[in-house]
Amino acid sequence: MIHFFRNSVAGIALPERFTNPFHYTPHALCVEAVREVQEYLSGMELWKRKPDEGKMFGVLIVRTPDNRIGFLAAFSGILDGSYLHPYFVPPVYNLQAPDGFFTQEEQHISTINEQIRQIENDPDYQQARQDLTAKSSQAEQALSTAKAKLKADKATRDLQRSRNPQDIDTSALIRESQFQKAEYKRLEKHWKEQVGEIQHRIDEFTKRIETLKAERKQRSAKLQQRLFEQFRLLNARGEEKNLFDLFREEGQNNPPAGAGECAAPKLLQFAYKHGLHPVAMAEFWWGCSPKTEIRRQGYYYPACQGKCGPILHFMLQGLNTEQPDLPEERQFTEFPEIVYEDQWLLVVNKPAGMLSVPGKTPRLSVLDLTRQAYPEATGPLLVHRLDMATSGLLLIAKSKSVHEHLQKQFLAHTVRKRYTALLDGNVPANEGVISLPLCPDIHDRPRQIVNETFGKPAITRYQVLERTERHTRIAFYPQTGRTHQLRVHAAHPLGLNCPIVGDSLYGKKAERLYLHSEYIEFVHPATGQKMQLEKPADF
């Protein structure tokens, strides 16, 4: 499984520390290894048969016991229906082993699923459900008609009593009322029995279905628990722990689906088992992007914290791992440029890299600086936020009442905003609307994903301003305000498929994120005047 470089890498110095898989810039040896792996992938028939396929791959630079430098390659999950491919390291645990418990138990669960399908498709069950619908409708109609007649007859009796109270035999009217009510009760009982007979037939089927589903749930839980225990992972100290224990130590009851099947754990596990010393690591995407996440062919990606965090934190123990390769944080101590100010509010031009509100670090935010500069101001102050990497206009209220008024305008979508961005690539249409629902990626925060089921509506109107050979300058008009909305809508294949330049989450790093909020329009809470403020981007 170990590959030795076809081209000489003698001139490339080894890294002093092992890669931090969550924050890294690919080492030159990894770049060379990835180039060779991509050449191999380009020749695979898989991409011709399945042009929509996409997969995360990884490389691990290793040193052999005789001090030779080579690399291992791996893929995440399953590739072309199999966990085993000759060029790549094997999985930590092969779920497809023919004599393994997983395959055998999956057959039992598949048998249960087939039994459930047979019951659900049973002609007698289907007929009973149709009969129940029809009978329930008949019962509802009959009882509704009878109830209407009861009401009409009561109204007639009440009218008789009011017109000729002395000439009316009230006892006869009472008997008539009692008889009709009793008749209605008998009718109600009749239909209840009719519907009940059919419901009883259905219940016999549903009881069998629920019994099978309960057995399936129990078997699945036991299978999952046993599977977690089979993923026995090693670290550089030679220690071993299973998946269940690793996630339980992190305060999680169970590992998420697919944990332990990513490229990084596979690579480290193989190296430890075969006496190979890990030197550097990198992961990259190859093929088409999935429909939810944003992945671009050939781009490098960090390991996700949700699935791989507890695993890699353990597996890296015993290695001299580098500190996170984070960009140098710029400290902001001066109040941002004021674009507009009066006694009720102000609008500032937030620089890129400055927090809108306090974060996990002690860095000063716009909110911190506003409280220092305006100690007499009350209320939440900031009416909205911008991502730390985004620059541009930020609206600040000096009182709670002004803040509430402006917040209502945001909630009513009457505040107009325009962003300018520089995109990596060419957008063919001059203008259009992007509508892709968004929600957080629970396994890889703070990333957002497109999800038709759980995502919240996110709508962006855009207009191309300028095109160059490599870039598109564009204006965004967000109709909603979801987290990372413009960044995802720009980068996603179903959006513009052109990430914003400098977007380290959904594209490639640069000196900054080229996204600027340059225009805002709202109604002044105190004067009622339409405010139109603009600060052009400096890029």
Instruction: Give the residue numbers marked as catalytic.
Output: 387
Q: Sort residue 381 into left (φ over 0), alpha (ψ -120 to 50) or beta.
A: left
Answer yes or no: are the C-beta atoms of 95 and 103 closer than 8 Å: yes
Do the strands 438-440 and 515-523 form a parallel or antiparallel pair, or are they unpaired?
unpaired
Residues 6+ apart with CB under 8 A from 355: 363, 364, 365, 366, 388
Cis peptide before 255, with omega less than 30 degrees from 0? no
Please give the single-letter amino acid code of residue 522.
F
C-alpha distance from residue 308 to each of 87, 263, 482, 501 (Å): 23, 10, 27, 28
To the nearest 10°, report the CA torsion of 35, 313, 292, 281.
Answer: 0
DSSP 179: H
Tokens standing for 526? 């105190």
Residue 385 near residue 357, CB atoms below 8 Å: yes
Residue 475 sits at φ, ψ, to 5 deg, of -110, 130
Q: Residues of 60-87 as b/e, b for ≥16 C-beta within 10 angstroms?
A: bbbeeeeeebbbbbbbbebbeeebebee
How far apart are alpha carbons 85 and 80 in whole angstroms? 9
Q: Provide the total of helices (H) and of strands (E) in the chain, helices listed first.
A: 11, 16
CA dihedral 364, 365, 370, 371 (to 10 degrees): -60
> Which tokens hold the place of 163?
């017109």
**Cβ partners under 8 Å of residue 294, min gap 6:** 447, 449, 488, 491, 492, 493, 499, 506
How far is C-alpha 212 from the geometric centre of its chain's CA atoms?
32
